[in-house]
Amino acid sequence: MDASKKKELEKLAIKIRIGIVEEIKARGFGHIGGSLSITDALAVLYGEVMHYDPKNPMLPDRDKLVCSKGHAGPAVYAALAIEGFFPYEVLKTLNQPGTHLPSHCDRNLTVGVDMTTGSLGQGTSLAVGMALGDRLEGRKSRTFLFVGDGEADEGQVWEAAMFTGAKKITNLIWLVDDNKKQLDGYTKDIINQFDFEEKFKAFGFDAKRIDGNDIEQLHDILTAPVSDKPRAVILDTVKGKGVPEVEQTMGNHSMKVKPDVCDKWLRDLNAELEKLN
């Protein structure tokens, strides 16, 4: 990965973070922690890896993204707006009456969203079906699936993983956002998930843990050649990554934030962006 491409993707990640904060500022509250933790992965996917066309969002052979942790919708929306699926100003309507950007992802409302999610665990089965359907139709499409670490408390996640491994659905890439927290505490204190990497290997996956907030590591693994096994990438992330005050807040799953606080975060993020220009 050359330096210019790395810088381009780092800038995109900051722009997505700015979009997330713009959304939260307009509404006054929202799911900010788990949105910020997957931002770097989204930057690599939309900035380099995925095949898509904002002018033709239903392109049959497009790559698809399923955010099974549907509450991270603000991150997905910011990426879609930046890539031109809909006007950037629409971000400021997040979760408001009449919006096309609900709290959780909804394919019937938001251009560019490939699957409705939010009831935790269900997005995994849906992604399996989408990827298997593409394979049966002979398409080259890939499906990228974001799963939350807290979401993995749901048994449905592991049923979907077992099916993925058993049927060798190699056009489905699992991205587990292991940010160590869920709604009401640390995941290890609520239900210890043990070793995600070893668990996915046991289900027949090519599984690897990486720094999920490192652009270069994300790029390398998401552009690696496809093997004869489905891939699971365990993203070792920080909940709230990129906004120090959010990172340091224990209850950062969903937060109320005053406009002046958001303005400070936006100034800091824009300053980071300016350093890369």
Nearest to 273 by CA among 59, 29, 4, 9: 9
Rounded Cα–Cα distance for residues 74 and 14 (Å): 14
Q: Give pLDDT, residue 37.
A: 98
* Average pLDDT score over the chain: 97
Rounded Cα–Cα distance for residues 154 and 161 (Å): 12
Sequence-ordered list of residues with C-beta below 8 angstroms from that of 135, at least 6 positions apart, any chain: 169, 171
Check whether 161 has a pLDDT greater than 90.
Answer: yes
SS (H, E, C) 52-90: CCCCCCCCCCCCEEEECCHHHHHHHHHHHHHCCCCCHHH
Question: What pLDDT band is residue 30 in, cutting at 50, 70 and 90?
Answer: very high
Question: What pLDDT band is residue 136 in, cutting at 50, 70 and 90?
Answer: very high
Q: Give pLDDT, residue 100.
A: 97
Q: Give pLDDT, residue 226.
A: 86
Question: What pLDDT band is residue 277 in, cutting at 50, 70 and 90?
Answer: confident
H or E element that contains 235 = strand 231-236
Q: Give pLDDT, residue 190.
A: 95
The arithmetic mean of pLDDT across residues 194-208, rounded, is 97
Helix and strand numbers, DSSP H then E, in the chain: 11, 9
Q: Give pLDDT, residue 1.
A: 82
Q: How many domains does the chain have?
A: 1
pLDDT digits (tens, 9 = 90+) for 11-28: 999 999 999 999 999 999
Nearest to 149 by CA among 191, 114, 105: 191
Q: What is the DSSP string of 148-163?
A: ETTGGGSHHHHHHHHH
Q: Give pLDDT, residue 33.
A: 97
The arithmetic mean of pLDDT across residues 96-107, rounded, is 96
Query: What percentage of the chain carries pLDDT values higher than 70?
Result: 100
Q: Give pLDDT, residue 119.
A: 93
Question: What pLDDT band is residue 10 in, cutting at 50, 70 and 90?
Answer: very high
Count of beta carbons in the 10 Å neighbourhood of residue 108: 8
Residues spanned by the domain of 83: 3-276
Query: What percentage of the chain carries pLDDT values higher than 90?
Result: 97
Question: What pLDDT band is residue 236 in, cutting at 50, 70 and 90?
Answer: very high
State the CATH number of the domain containing residue 102: 3.40.50.970
The arithmetic mean of pLDDT across residues 202-209, rounded, is 98
The arithmetic mean of pLDDT across residues 62-85, rounded, is 98
